[in-house]
């Protein structure tokens, strides 16, 4: 009897096992998590309105725009630089903060000519270039070599913000985060200065002449970046007859303009200040008589141009023009804080002085 009962129990268990297996086999398969492969490429729309295909992860950058090299450094992408301009490589502060720049191949020489063979041999994932003068003459050669070129906006004050965003987007997520932080700082400074300068009546605004290059008759007119920061800082650009940057004025025009303040930008800044202050042709100008001829600061790049330090330019300019209205603006403290925050470098007082005087560290 016990044997019969034992056999029945085993048979029942066997049947239950078979039913369980059958039920399991009839269930729909468990959902699997989708596996998404990282795409090989992505697209970016550049300042020329072109949709440019670049690698999804960019590891090799040829920077054909001198002003942008400092931005790449600030955004943490300097190790990706495989090509650089001679002008950028010669910047003393860029070399100090990033010594490897001295060994990066030069793709554009001092005459602003691109060596296409050198560019090809650097095997860049992308080339970054200013769109200020339109498409570069070598763009077709780069295209023929299947090298993508992203054109960056480089005309106005707002273009700096777009350039920072685009450079961060190309470099990747960590760079985008730094770019966002820089943009907050940049906008904060604009709001801070304009809160004061917007209330200055036009007839009380100081009239400013901005010169550049060894030829001190080369001036920056209206419709460009320099004009934008002069206006935001509470000044009036006297070179209203000139359109854009780096136009050539006559001495007669400058005497007619008779600026209240003269700012000398681009090397040799200090020497140009001395020329203006000692040349009899300039002696009748109000700015010279009042000793209001200044050297524009230069650090990793020229503060008055499309540079990472452009965020400091409006603070410096406002302080120069209206020191009494901006007693709370400490340019030295702001500069030291900026370099620590964005370049991870602690400036000394001597470092600061060299930047203010556009000298090598």
Kindly list the structural domains of the chain, giving each domain's residue range(s) and its CATH number in brackets, ordered by start. Answer: 41-180 (3.40.50.1980), 201-356 (3.40.50.1980)
CB atoms under 10 Å from CB of 123, counted, come to: 12
Q: Mean pLDDT, consecutive 10-residue segments, the chain of 361 residues?
A: 48 44 43 63 96 97 96 98 96 97 97 96 98 93 97 92 97 98 98 97 96 79 91 96 82 96 86 92 96 96 93 98 98 98 98 95 92
Question: DSSP assignment of 275-329, as one string?
Answer: HHHH-GGGTTSHHHHTT-EEEPPBSSSBTTSSSTTHHHHHHHHHHHH-TTTTTT-
Buried b (16+ CB within 10 A) or exposed e, 218-236: bbbbbebbbbbbbbbbbbb
Q: How far apart are CA 213 and CA 234, in angstroms?
A: 24
Predicted pLDDT at 5:
42
Confidence (pLDDT) at 270: 84
Task: Give me 84's structure tokens.
Answer: 């650089």
Helices (H) and strands (E) in the chain, counts: 15, 13
Question: Please, what's the largest Cα pairwise distance for the chain?
Answer: 132
Token pair of 119 as six digits: 């560019």
Residues pairing with 43 in the sheet: 53
Asked whether the whole model's pTM tops 0.85, one would answer: yes
């Amino acid at each position: 009897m016990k044997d019969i009962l034992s056999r029945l129990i085993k048979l029942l268990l066997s049947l239950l096992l078979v039913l369980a297996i059958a039920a399991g086999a009839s269930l729909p398969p468990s959902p699997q998590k989708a596996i998404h492969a990282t795409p090989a490429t992505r697209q970016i729309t550049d300042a020329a309105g072109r949709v440019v295909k670049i690698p999804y992860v960019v590891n090799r950058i040829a920077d054909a725009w001198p002003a942008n090299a400092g931005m790449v450094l600030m955004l943490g992408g300097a190790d990706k630089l495989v090509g650089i301009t001679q002008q950028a490589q010669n910047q003393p502060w860029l070399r100090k903060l990033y010594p490897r720049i001295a060994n990066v191949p030069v793709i554009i020489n001092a005459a602003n000519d691109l060596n296409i063979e050198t560019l090809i041999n650097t095997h860049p994932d992308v080339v970054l270039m200013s769109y200020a003068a339109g498409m570069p003459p070598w763009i077709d050669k780069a295209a023929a070599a299947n090298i993508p070129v992203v054109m960056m906006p480089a005309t106005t004050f707002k273009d700096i913000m777009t350039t920072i965003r685009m450079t961060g987007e190309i470099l990747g997520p960590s760079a985008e985060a730094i770019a966002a932080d820089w943009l907050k700082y940049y906008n904060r400074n604009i709001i801070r200065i304009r809160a004061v300068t917007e209330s200055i009546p036009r007839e009380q605004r100081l009239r400013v002449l901005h010169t550049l290059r060894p030829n001190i008759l080369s001036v920056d007119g209206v419709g460009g970046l320099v004009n934008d920061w002069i206006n935001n800082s509470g000044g009036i650009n006297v070179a209203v007859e000139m359109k854009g940057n780096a136009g050539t004025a006559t001495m007669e025009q400058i005497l007619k303009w008779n600026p209240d303040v003269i700012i000398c930008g681009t090397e040799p800044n200090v020497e140009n200040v001395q020329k203006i202050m000692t040349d009899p042709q300039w002696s009748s100008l109000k700015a010279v008589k009042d000793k209001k001829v200044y050297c524009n600061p230069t650090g990793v790049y020229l503060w008055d141009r499309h540079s990472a330090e452009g965020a400091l330019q409006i603070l410096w300019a406002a302080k120069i023009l209206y020191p009494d209205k901006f007693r709370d603006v400490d340019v030295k403290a702001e500069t030291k804080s900026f370099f620590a925050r964005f370049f991870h470098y602690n400036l000394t007082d001597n470092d600061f002085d060299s930047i203010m005087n556009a000298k090598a560290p």
